Amino acid sequence: MNAATHADLDRIRELRARYARYADTKRWEEVAGLFTDDAVMRFRGVDGGLLNEVTAAEFAKTIGARVGAGQPVHHLFTHEITFTSDTTAEGVWAMEDLIFHDREAHPEAPFSFMHGFGHYHDTYRKVDGRWRISGCELTRLRLEIVS
């Protein structure tokens, strides 16, 4: 791996870390800015079935309403990044996500606690010298929801 590739690997790691931080702090417009304009996000259930497919722009517009007053927490773990060209890469990240709702304060919340485990399967593209997520598919190994 050459020095340029090491630098690109670091930028992709930072990109995914920013996603987790922006999501946890509910900075949805900044989440959208991490994706290419044509990015698509797919969400799969534990059984592998497709639950939802949206553009990154649609995701950023609707996720705030879905999370509501809840507090999301994202953890990213081991990752595998493969460069497919000088401007494209693929990655798989082990992940854990949680959403906490205070149902006493917000009885309309759909649940009090969600805890999920799985993997982000990403594609990345370097646009104007900056790495962006060009596609993301979340697969689930386990999902626990407490009413």
**b/e burial code for range 55-89 (CB count within 10 A of at least 16 → b):** ebeebbeebeeebeebebebebeebebebeeeeeb
Q: What is the pLDDT of residue 42?
A: 97
**Other CB atoms within 10 Å distance of the CB of residue 120:** 21
Q: Does domain 3-146 have CATH number 3.10.450.50?
A: yes
- Read off the pLDDT of residues 52-88 as tens digits, 9 standing for 90 and up: 999 988 988 888 888 889 999 999 999 999 999 999 9
pLDDT score, position 19: 97
**22 compared with 67, residue with greater pLDDT:** 22
- Is pLDDT of 3 > 70? no
Question: Higher model confidence: residue 97 or residue 66?
Answer: 97
Over residues 137-143, the mean pLDDT reads 98
Is the predicted pLDDT of residue 18 greater than 80, yes or no? yes
Average pLDDT of the residues in 115-119: 99
- What's the pLDDT score for residue 66? 84
Backbone Cα Rg of the chain:
16
Q: Mean of the per-residue pLDDT values for the chain?
A: 94
